[in-house]
Amino acid sequence: MRPKVKICGLQKPGDAQYVNDAGADYAGFVFYEKSKRNVSCQKAKKIMEKIRPDIKKVAVTVSPDAAQIQILQQMKFDIIQMHGTLSAEALSAVELPVWYAINLSDPKEFAEKTKDFLDLPEKLQQKITALVVDGANYGGGQTFDWQKTQTFHQTEGIFAGRKFVLAGGLHAGNVNKGIQLFHPDVVDVSSGVENENGKDEALIKQFVTCVKEEDTPIPNWICLPTVNARCWWRSPMV
């Protein structure tokens, strides 16, 4: 079974139509002031109104407190995604499924980065329905070291019974390699479907097609249509 797709970092009403038309499964909104993709609650509500009901809406947070969680739940999100500090206070306030995001540069850091999770009471651990394994920086557009996949196992330990979400530096040129290596339940993309003005309709469609249709041919060069074009080389083995 092919993974589901999350398009993260929506900022404009037009982004909703791109996500609808491409056939994405999840739409992510960033609520973190230091992020260039940060949106206000008011702006997020307007975009959410335009997204198809079958597409799940994900509120992406960094070290949220209980007050922020309560505000986001009132906005009728389907999922809360938490980066940073995983506090018992915030988790106790959550009534929605939680995706816990772990930011790595090297998979060897995995055990240390999941210590917060393991220190939680079992009742709070059960609120976490998915693990998002992301690159080192929030929204940084970089993969972690994929060559060291053997250092954690996606179906064991804290992954058992939870979705595995692959994030960080994904784009149409490498997503199938990531799928082959990790067999994720969901792939999560943001910068890989953007141009200099934000989300790009063609790149979103291309990414979703690459994920949903296994045999779809992908050009060896994947380029963003900007003045200073960003291109990625796709290995022939992908």
pLDDT in tens, 166-224: 998 999 999 999 998 888 999 999 999 999 999 999 999 999 999 998 654 444 433 33
Asked if pLDDT for residue 109 goes beyond 90, the answer is: no
Give the β-pairing of 194-195 and 198-199: antiparallel
Give the β-pairing of 231-233 and 221-223: antiparallel
Q: What one-character DSSP code corresponds to residue 235?
A: P
| Residue 185: CA count within 13 A, CB half-sphere | 16
Q: Which of 36-40, 47-51, 57-61, 115-119 bottoms out in mean pLDDT, i.e. has the lowest? A: 115-119
Q: In terms of pLDDT, which residue wins out, 111 or 75?
A: 75
% helix / strand / coil in the chain, to the nearest 5? Answer: 35, 25, 45
Give the β-pairing of 79-83 and 4-7: unpaired
- What local confidence, expressed as pLDDT, does residue 224 receive? 34
pTM, full prediction: 0.85
Asked if pLDDT for residue 236 goes beyond 80, the answer is: no
- What local confidence, expressed as pLDDT, does residue 135 receive? 79
Domain boundaries in the chain? Answer: 4-233
- What local confidence, expressed as pLDDT, does residue 112 receive? 79
Summarize pLDDT for 48-66 with one digit per residue, the tens. 999 999 999 999 999 999 9
What CATH number does the domain located at 4-233 have?
3.20.20.70
Q: Which of 19-28, 106-115, 138-147 bottoms out in mean pLDDT, i.e. has the lowest? A: 138-147
pLDDT band at 110 (very low <50, low <70, confident <90, very high): confident
| Sequence-separated (6 or more) residues with CB below 8 Å from residue 209 | 22, 216
How large is the greatest C-alpha to C-alpha distance in the chain, in angstroms?
51
CA separation, residue 30 to residues 73, 211, 235 (Å): 14, 23, 31
Q: In terms of pLDDT, which residue wins out, 235 or 209?
A: 209
Asked if pLDDT for residue 229 goes beyond 70, the answer is: no
Give the β-pairing of 163-167 and 128-134: parallel
Give the position of tokens 């934000």.
Answer: 198
- What local confidence, expressed as pLDDT, does residue 153 receive? 58
Q: What one-character DSSP code corresponds to residue 21?
A: H
User: What does the mean pLDDT of the chain come to?
Assistant: 85
Other CB atoms closer than 10 Å to residue 72's CB: what's the count? 23
CA 62 to chain centre: 13
**Is the torsion defined by CA of 83, 130, 26, 51 positive or negative?**
negative
